[in-house]
Chain A
Amino acid sequence: MKRMQSNFIFFLIRRIINALVTLVLLVLLVFVLIHVILPTPQAMAKVYIGSQHYTTAELNSVIERYGLNEPLYVQFFKYVIDVFTGNFGLDSLYKVPEMQLLDKFIPITLEFVLIAIALQVVIGVFAGGFAAMYRGQVPDWIIKVLYLVAWAAPVFLLATLMQFAFAYDLKVLPALNMANPVLVPPKPITGYPLIDAAIEGDWTYFDSLLTHMVLPVLAIAIAGFGLTTRIMRSSAVEVFDKDYVKLAYMKGLSNGKVLFGTVFRNALIPIVTLTAIQFGFAVSGAVVIEDVFLYKGMGFFLYQSVTSMDYVAIIATTIIVGISVIIANFAADLLYAVVDPRGKLE
């Protein structure tokens, strides 16, 4: 027991180092890209000013302030330190620290993407498991058609069609915004709108948030559940043929116990890694979804930054998306070790 625990700690340390190195490499990549696009200190300074109208004195003061004249490796070192301390500089449009803006937008995106991912995993696992139970029979085919259609449809089309059908035509759900604009939003305590509304007991706002969240969440979940279903189906089909499933039945266990205790637990193992990968896709996919539903999260912010050439914001958002993917993978590795005892502990 003791040895296994220390193994786990080593494994954890190795994974953390891995994640940190990946992060530094990601920052290096972004850093190199910026310097390819903006090769001179002057070009770089112009971006930080964020306007076409500046004096040479202004330009020089920005170069001085940001240390744009220093050797590249010094700049990179400082850049890494800045990124790790959450300092992305001043936003060139809003003229406030970039982190303040991200602080506001990240939780909004994270909240609905996490809910969407959870929904997607639940749909995918059950649909895939169900298809595997009836492999080669009618339910299997129906599920296959459904997920292939959802999978093949482009996210923006899916989102727009859903908006058209449920909001504009049937009028059962709101089409735009995160909440009814008439309502006063609660004070941001955690930054996560649902949690804040719940903390303040503002249930009307909470309710409004939920109904506005339905369509964007469904759009992400529907676009993404296909892959989960497919992987779950094939992994469950494989598990169904295993002797240990037959042995579980042989013991006289009930169908439910065999399905959830044996088949699903083993078939779920690849889903853990898959979900981490899909989380990355969903965060970047949120750009489109947020634009369609005017959901003012990070994707919406990124879209605005791109159209207004707000480089500082684009760079910061890129790094944040990258970080979230790395963290998701790190979490997947940990979860993997938990769900599969054969894991990579050794």
Chain B
Amino acid sequence: MNALEIRDLSVYYRTPLGKVKVLDSLDADFPESKTTGIVGESGSGKSTLGFAITRLLPPTAAVEGSIKYYGDDLMKLPAKKMREVRGTGVFMIMQDPFSSLNPVKRVGDQLLEALQVRYERRGEGFDYATARKEALKRLSDVKLPDPDLVMSKYPYQLSGGQIQRVVIAMGLLLEPKVIIADEPTSALDVSIQAQVISLLRELQESYGMTLLFITHDLAVATAVSDNVIILYAGRIMEQGSMADAIRKPLHPYTQGLLKSFPSGNYKEGKLYSLKGLPPSFFDLPSGCRFSDRCPYAFDRCYKEEPQVYRVEDRNVRCFLYDKR
């Protein structure tokens, strides 16, 4: 069963320079209780996807297509129903820990607020003492020492890693079916990154949540994901099982990403790097969006955009796999 089914999803932003299409006709399934890594460079539309699912895009955005959450099309849900999906249905952990908690409220109050939402939806009465106990329990679940003290603190008194754990604990308290983690580790120190990632993995497994792990770092994504979606300039380039993608990347972009991080055997020599930068949304290449950075690009790549080809149980958007 799929927790989320995205069909033909496009997101536009109105900007002073004109309308830009940040996500272009996305199709993706997110199977229940599995982790899907969504990988792409900055500006590829990764975070936009997360906010589109939770319908929290800025007012300048316009959305087309459908996002089915256990059968309900979120795009057509009335605002009130959508609110009931947020929190206990879908919850998102945001990129910058330092701005993700309300600075004028104590951490404990913010956690209890989340719990109150869950209690109310389940029709249970809110009891402060029980709620507090549960919050303390979850804070120790995410391996925060001295949860009592953390509850009484204001967000500015905590470190980035601590806040990210608090937000994860908040997610656990809500017991959502789907958690979207939008670069939850990119603002953290490397040592803390590994801890937070293994924590997420652990929690995903023990609670059977569906996890959407958004990152720019393919290496990080491989550590947690069952499936992978490679985004490039608003398009899905490759999609399928993570293990397969690492073993045998199909799209030249995926190959480039894989080659550009150091492998186990540290051989001498320069690390591979993809030349160039992702294109601007205002000035997309007329053919394949990756064409001007692709080492295999040929004539056709510059003229028309490839469709999605089904290769070895995976989807890939590249003419190299056109078996006509």
**Residues of B contacting A249 in the complex (Cβ-Cβ under 8 angstroms):** 54, 56, 83, 86
Task: Determine whether the beta carbon of B86 is less than 8 Å from that of A242.
Answer: no
Q: Which of B58, B84, B88, B94 lies in contact with A243, CB distance below 8 A?
A: B94
Q: Which A residues between 252 and 275 are near B, CB-CB below 8 angstroms?
A: 252-255, 257, 261-262, 265-266, 269
Q: Min CB distance, B265 to chain A, in Å?
A: 40
Interface residues on A, range: 20 to 34
With an 8 A cutoff between CB atoms, is B91 at the interface? yes
Task: Determine whether the beta carbon of B156 is less than 8 Å from that of A262.
Answer: no
What residue in chain B is nearest A135 (Cβ atoms)?
B59
Q: Could you give, for residues 147-159 of chain B, a 1 whenever the CB lies within 8 Å of some chain A CB and a 0 otherwise?
A: 0000010101000
Interface size counted on chain B using CB atoms at 8 A = 34
Question: How far, in whole Å, are A334 and B135 apart by their CA atoms in the complex?
Answer: 32
With an 8 A cutoff between CB atoms, is A164 at the interface? no
Stretch at the interface among B26-34, B98-106, B188-196, B210-218: B98-106
**Residues of A contacting B58 in the complex (Cβ-Cβ under 8 angstroms):** 241
With an 8 A cutoff between CB atoms, is B40 at the interface? no
Most buried by A among B54, B102, B156, B174: B102
Question: How far, in whole Å, are A249 and B89 apart by their CA atoms in the complex?
Answer: 13
Task: Determine whether the beta carbon of A341 is less than 8 Å from that of B56.
Answer: no
Question: How far, in whole Å, are A137 and B91 apart by their CA atoms in the complex?
Answer: 29
With an 8 A cutoff between CB atoms, is A78 at the interface? no
**Residues of A contacting B101 in the complex (Cβ-Cβ under 8 angstroms):** 244, 247
Q: Which B residues between 110 and 157 are near A, CB-CB below 8 angstroms?
A: 113-114, 117, 121, 152, 154, 156
User: Known: A340-B104, A341-B154, A342-B154. Contact between A252 and B86, CB under 8 A?
Assistant: yes
Task: Determine whether the beta carbon of A248 is less than 8 Å from that of B102.
Answer: yes
**Residues of B contacting A255 in the complex (Cβ-Cβ under 8 angstroms):** 83
User: Known: A246-B56, A342-B156. Contact between A251 and B87, CB under 8 A?
Assistant: yes
Q: Min CB distance, A264 to chain B, in Å?
A: 10
Most buried by A among B51, B105, B154: B105
With an 8 A cutoff between CB atoms, is B228 at the interface? no
Most buried by A among B85, B114, B167: B114
User: Known: A135-B59, A253-B113, A342-B154. Contact between A244 and B99, CB under 8 A?
Assistant: yes
With an 8 A cutoff between CB atoms, is B170 at the interface? yes
Question: How far, in whole Å, are A241 and B85 apart by their CA atoms in the complex?
Answer: 21
User: Known: A241-B58, A244-B100. Contact between A250 and B86, CB under 8 A?
Assistant: yes
Q: Which A residues between 208 and 263 are near B, CB-CB below 8 angstroms?
A: 241-244, 246-255, 257, 261-262
Task: Determine whether the beta carbon of A250 is less than 8 Å from that of B103.
Answer: no
User: Known: A135-B59, A246-B94. Contact between A265 and B83, CB under 8 A?
Assistant: no
User: Known: A339-B104, A341-B154. Contact between A254 and B56, CB under 8 A?
Assistant: no
With an 8 A cutoff between CB atoms, is B226 at the interface? no
Question: How far, in whole Å, are A181 and B155 apart by their CA atoms in the complex?
Answer: 58
With an 8 A cutoff between CB atoms, is A136 at the interface? yes
Question: How far, in whole Å, are A73 and B103 apart by their CA atoms in the complex?
Answer: 50
**Residues of B contacting A254 in the complex (Cβ-Cβ under 8 angstroms):** 83
Task: Determine whether the beta carbon of A136 is less than 8 Å from that of B59.
Answer: yes
What residue in chain A is nearest B154 (Cβ atoms)?
A341
**Residues of A contacting B113 in the complex (Cβ-Cβ under 8 angstroms):** 251, 253, 257, 261
**Residues of A contacting B96 in the complex (Cβ-Cβ under 8 angstroms):** 243
Task: Determine whether the beta carbon of B103 is less than 8 Å from that of A341.
Answer: yes
**Residues of A contacting B154 in the complex (Cβ-Cβ under 8 angstroms):** 341-342
Question: How far, in whole Å, are A246 and B102 apart by their CA atoms in the complex?
Answer: 10
Q: Min CB distance, B112 to chain A, in Å?
A: 11
Q: Min CB distance, B46 to chain A, in Å?
A: 15
Q: Tell me the B residues contacting A by CB distance below 8 Å.
A: 51, 54, 56, 58-60, 83-88, 91-92, 94-96, 99-105, 113-114, 117, 121, 152, 154, 156, 167, 170, 174
A-B complex: 5 closest residue pairs judged by Cβ atoms: A252-B87, A252-B86, A243-B99, A243-B100, A341-B154
Q: A247-B167, A252-B174 are in contact. List 8 more A-B contacts (CB 8 A).
A: A135-B59, A244-B103, A246-B92, A249-B56, A250-B86, A251-B170, A261-B113, A265-B104
List 30 A-B pairs, Cβ < 8 Å: A137-B59, A241-B58, A243-B95, A243-B96, A243-B99, A244-B99, A244-B101, A246-B94, A247-B94, A247-B101, A249-B54, A250-B54, A250-B56, A250-B87, A251-B86, A251-B87, A251-B91, A251-B113, A251-B174, A252-B84, A252-B114, A252-B117, A252-B121, A254-B83, A255-B83, A261-B113, A262-B105, A340-B103, A341-B104, A342-B156
